[in-house]
Structure formats: C-alpha cells, structure tokens
C-alpha cells in the first residue's frame, strides 16, 4: 500500500490498515479540494485549515471533497476565511490632460507625387 505524503515511514508503519486507508482517503479529498477551481481563492494557512476542520467537526461531517467545498463556501460567505484577493488593486493612473486633436490647415499648400503627399516647407512662387 502506498504511504501517505504527510507521514514518515515510522509513523505510517505504526498505523493500522484501517487507519492507513482512512489517511489516504482524507489526503485524496484535501488534494481534490485544493485543485478544485471553485476553491481557487482558498489560502493554505493554519488558521484556514483549523476553521475548515472545526466546521466539519461542529456539523458532524467527515472529510470529503464535497464536504470541504461546503465548508469553504459557508465559511467564505460569513467572512471566516482568509482568501486570496481576486486581483491586486492597481495604483491610480496619473491624470494627464488628453491632447486635443487639431485639424490640418485647409489653406496650407498641398502637393502630391506618385500618390503620396509631399512635404512643402516654405513654398516659393515661380514666375
């Protein structure tokens, strides 16, 4: 049987077969809960872990993926969990005046060559 990832070899060998199966079931439920997209804001902290465990104990629920989601949703709704913010607030953008677009001078001379405008700087009269 595989060994639980949170146990040393000595601690794992000290458990009975039933306890090992239960430990693996709980670890699988917690792993599934942490990977669930509905719990992406859950922050893995000691306080949050204790809050989830206390909720499950108070409501006489076993540790399972569905029960962990239920506890997470209930505690989140009451603000009892520390959650990862949805997005980091951006600092306010500096207020710069919006430049006012200017229209070209209709009286300015215009010339074209091969379909492209020619810059005419200080045109001179011929003749």
Please report the pLDDT score of residue 44 as a whole number. Answer: 93
Percent of the chain with pLDDT over 70: 98
Per-residue model confidence as pLDDT tens digits over 83-108 = 988 887 778 877 887 788 787 777 77
8 Å CB contact between 20 and 4: yes
Please report the pLDDT score of residue 70 as a whole number. Answer: 95
Mean pLDDT of the chain: 86
Please report the pLDDT score of residue 16 as a whole number. Answer: 87
Please report the pLDDT score of residue 13 as a whole number. Answer: 85
Mean pLDDT lowest among 6-10, 15-19, 74-78: 6-10
Per-residue model confidence as pLDDT tens digits over 51-87 = 999 999 999 999 999 999 999 999 999 999 999 888 8
Can you tell me the distance from the alpha carbon of 39 to that of 20, in angstroms, rounded to the nearest whole number? 27
Rounded to whole angstroms, what are the CA distances from 66 to 48, 59, 79, 108? Answer: 17, 14, 20, 75
pLDDT band at 121 (very low <50, low <70, confident <90, very high): confident
Please report the pLDDT score of residue 127 as a whole number. Answer: 66
Can you tell me the distance from the alpha carbon of 63 to that of 56, in angstroms, rounded to the nearest whole number? 7
8 Å CB contact between 84 and 94: no
pLDDT over threshold 90, residue 4: no
């Amino acid at each position: 049987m595989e060994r639980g990832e949170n146990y040393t070899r000595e601690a794992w060998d000290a458990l009975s077969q039933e306890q090992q199966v239960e430990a693996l079931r709980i670890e699988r439920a917690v792993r599934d809960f942490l990977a669930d997209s509905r719990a992406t804001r859950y922050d893995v902290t000691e306080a949050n872990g204790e809050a989830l465990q206390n909720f499950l104990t108070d409501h006489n629920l076993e540790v399972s993926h569905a029960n962990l989601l239920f506890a997470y949703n209930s505690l989140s709704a009451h603000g009892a969990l520390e959650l990862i913010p949805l997005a980091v607030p951006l600092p306010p953008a500096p207020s710069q005046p919006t430049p006012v677009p200017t229209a070209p001078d209709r009286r300015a001379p215009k010339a074209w060559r091969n379909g492209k405008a020619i810059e005419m700087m200080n045109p001179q009269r011929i003749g």
